[in-house]
A and B are shown apart, each in its own frame.
Chain A
Amino acid sequence: MASSDYRQVTTLVQRLGRLLNPVALVELIREVISAVSEPPPGDPDALDRLAAAYRQTAAELRSLVPHHAVQAFTEAADALAELAGTVRTQQRRQVELRLALRAAAHDATHIGSVALPDPTALDDVARRVNELVAVYTDSLDAADRAAARFTDLAGRARAAAGVEGGLAPATAVLLAGQMVSIPGIGDDYDDGILSAAQLRAAGWRVHGLAEADRVAFTGLLSRAGSDRERAWLHKALAAGHPVAELTGFAEEIRGRDALWLDSHLSLIDRGGAGNQRRLGHDVRQYEDTTCGTTCLIVARAECDPLYALSLTTADFPARFAAERARVHDQTNLLWPESLGTSPRGMARYLSAHTGVRYAWHLVDDTDHRRVSSTLREVVAAADFGTPAPVLVGGPVPRHYVLVVGHSAGAVLVYEPTSGDTVRVEAHDFLAGTLTASTGFAHLQAVVVPDTMH
């Protein structure tokens, strides 16, 4: 078994599970003992050294770069140290269990000193096999958690994404540092006005402008009242609006304070858990079958501030209600309305209106590993500022939630029924344990950026 091969460990877990059949057990005991000779992969001592290097670098960066960069290195050190501890524990446990399994196997295949099956001793073998399954499964989960945390941290390197798109370093750093901030919602998650992908797209758009448009856009930026306004203007450009459309938008937002800008140009604050309200009105579904629709509206508003402003500019409750009706009709041409929005309809709508190509996938949630790898894609999308809908339910699909953030071992989920963003431990989320956060036990489908496949 190659020590770094995720698929090999997955196969081993499945093979160990088959051994719980007592008849097959005796025949396969020898093979099992051989198969579990490899410990869960990873080098805990090397991981500790990496953690120390990241921690030392964080200390050295303090006087040189903004706080969020120092924080990223500190969190990377924490993630590496946690992985080291987990791998060390799993490897020690695997050695203990393998020895115990050998002893139990001898008892199960001998009566006294005679080599004969002893069914009365099979229970002990089955218990050891179960414990080994748990060790190897835990090692897969630990890898999933570590991968998710590393991806989150990669997504926070947003200035580099802007420069990659063609923005000047000073502009990229300035824009990357602008965060959405609504009172009552924390700042535990990365809630930059522009995601890494949007910063990159803004750079591409600026460089792709015709000369007259470039002059006009530069003029809008120079007349803006604050760097925050400039960030929102770049986000609008990244959303694909022509410069001519941005002129009225720039005039509408010019001179507005931070709270006005953030509460009119987005529908949720991805910074933390809490009740998401805009202009005194809960941002939630108000009908039985508009959970998906509400998720679509919120997701689109996260990508397009002109769209958000079209809803919040006057009589938000009425405009929001009309938009729910419009989007619900538009995304449910064939699917029965009583079932809400279809996953296909969700993917099509998001692809058409966010500048990101989405795909949808059904999920077999009886396959633990499939659930975990699928939800890792959802979390990775959120890490790069792209909201991802998740369809959950009981026996049938019933409800959508929107994954909007991820930081330091926790996932932020927008729950349209209450209009709250709720914190879910990444461990629970990646394991598909969604009942507490969504009210439904089963994961049915996900809608994620197509680049994930």
Chain B
Amino acid sequence: MSELAEALRAVRSAWDQATRDGGEACGMDVAERAYQEMQAAWFAELGVHIALLGRADGQ
């Protein structure tokens, strides 16, 4: 795993821990659900970039 991939993984992990359970703060359930979907979508999106950076290092 490249240094950049590791760095991105660390950023994602810190962000996720700080915000993963934050949806309740939104109050209304419609906002809470949308928040959770956003959180999950960007967790996956950053995962794609982690994979890409790791692969670039391996080539």
> How would residues 123 to 140 of chain A score, 1 for a CB under 8 Å from any chain B CB and 0 otherwise?
000000000000000011
When distances are taken between beta carbons in the complex, the residues of chain B under 8 Å from A144 are 30
Beta-carbon contact of B38 and A87 below 8 Å? no
Give the segment of A14-22, A58-66, A409-417 that binds chain B.
Answer: A58-66
Interface size on B, residues (CB 8 A): 36
Which one, A47, A49, A150, A159, contacts B45 given CB within 8 A? A159
Chain B residue at smallest Cβ distance from A68:
B45
Closest to A172 in B: B48
> Majority SS of interface residues in chain A?
helix
Residues of A within 8 A of B26 (CB): 42, 47, 83, 143, 146
Task: Give the contacting residue for B29; candidates A5, A40, A61, A83; CB below 8 A.
Answer: A5
CB distance from B54 to the nearest CB of A (A): 9
Cross-interface CB contact of A157 among B18, B22, B30, B41, cutoff 8 Å: B41
Q: Are B27 and A53 in contact (CB under 8 A)?
A: no
Q: Which of A71-97 contact B (CB under 8 A)?
A: 72-73, 76, 83, 87
Q: Which residues in chain A, 240-266, are within 8 Å of chain B measured between CB atoms?
A: none
Q: For B24, give the chain A residue with the smallest CB separation.
A: A4
Q: Which residues on A sit within 8 Å (CB–CB) of B44?
A: 157, 160, 163-164
Q: Is A293 an interface residue (CB 8 A)?
A: no
* A146 and B31 contact, CB distance less than 8 A: yes
How far is the CB of A154 from the nearest CB of chain B, in Å? 4
Q: Is A308 an interface residue, CB under 8 A from the partner?
A: no
Residues A147 and B34 in contact, CB atoms below 8 Å apart: yes
Which A residues are closer than 8 A to B by beta carbons? 3-6, 9, 40-43, 46-47, 49-50, 53-54, 56-57, 60-61, 64-65, 69, 72-73, 76, 83, 87, 139-140, 143-144, 146-148, 150-151, 153-155, 157-160, 163-164, 169-170, 172-173, 373, 376
20 CB contacts below 8 A, A to B, read: A4-B28, A6-B30, A9-B28, A40-B27, A42-B27, A42-B28, A49-B18, A50-B25, A54-B19, A56-B15, A64-B7, A143-B27, A144-B30, A147-B28, A147-B33, A147-B34, A150-B35, A154-B34, A158-B45, A169-B51
A51 CB → nearest B CB, Å: 10
Q: Top 3 closest A-B pairs, CB basis?
A: A42-B27, A41-B27, A143-B28
B interface with A by C-beta (< 8 Å) = 4, 7-8, 11, 14-15, 18-19, 22, 24-35, 37-38, 40-42, 44-49, 51-53, 55
Contact A57 B48 (CB under 8 A): no
Evaluate contact between A159 and B48: CB separation under 8 angstroms: yes
Given contacts A42-B27, A150-B31, 10 further A-B contacts (CB under 8 A): A42-B26, A47-B26, A49-B22, A54-B19, A65-B46, A72-B42, A73-B42, A143-B27, A147-B34, A170-B55
B48: chain A residues at CB < 8 Å are 159-160, 163, 169, 172-173
Chain B's closest residue to A52 (CB) is B18
Are the CB atoms of A143 and B18 closer together than 8 Å?
no
A116 to B25, CA, bound (A): 43
> Which residue from A41, A50, A164, A172 sits with its C-beta under 8 Å from B22?
A50
Chain A residues closer than 8 Å to B38, beta-carbon distance? 76, 150-151, 153-154
* A53 touches which of B18, B28, B55 (Cβ 8 Å): B18
- Per the bound structure, the CA–CA distance linking A173 and B34 in Å amounts to 24
Q: Is the CB of A147 within 8 A of B31?
A: yes
Which residues from B are CB-within-8-Å of A153? 38, 41-42
CB distance B45 to A376 under 8 Å?
no
**B31 and A143: CB pair below 8 A?**
yes
CB-defined contacts of B52 to chain A, threshold 8 Å: 169-170, 173
**Contacting pair B15 A151 (CB below 8 A):** no
CA distance A420 to B18 in the complex (A): 42
Q: Which B-chain residue is minimally distant from A53 (CB atoms)?
A: B18
CA distance A194 to B53 in the complex (A): 23
Contact of A157 with B28 in the complex, beta carbons under 8 Å: no
Please state if B49 and A64 are interface contacts (CB–CB under 8 Å): yes
Q: How far is the CB of B49 from chain A (nearest CB, A)?
A: 5
Q: Which residues of B contact A157 (CB under 8 A)?
A: 41-42, 44-45
Given A4-B28, A143-B27, A143-B28, does the pair A151, B34 have CB atoms closer than 8 Å? yes
Please report the C-alpha to C-alpha distance between residue A46 and residue B22 in the assembled complex, in whole angstroms: 7
Residues of B within 8 A of A42 (CB): 25-28
Complex alpha-carbon distance, A139 and B33, angstroms: 16
Q: How far is the CA of A153 from the CA of B25 in the complex (A)?
A: 18
Name the residue of chain B whose CB is nearest to the CB of A170: B52
Instruction: Give Cα A42 to B41, complex, Å.
Output: 23
Contacts of A41 in B (CB 8 A): 27-28
Chain A's closest residue to B44 (CB) is: A160
* A155: chain B residues within 8 A (beta carbon): 41
- The distance in angstroms between the C-alpha atoms of A64 and B40, with both chains bound, is 19
Residues of chain B contacted by A64 (CB below 8 angstroms): 4, 7-8, 11, 49, 53
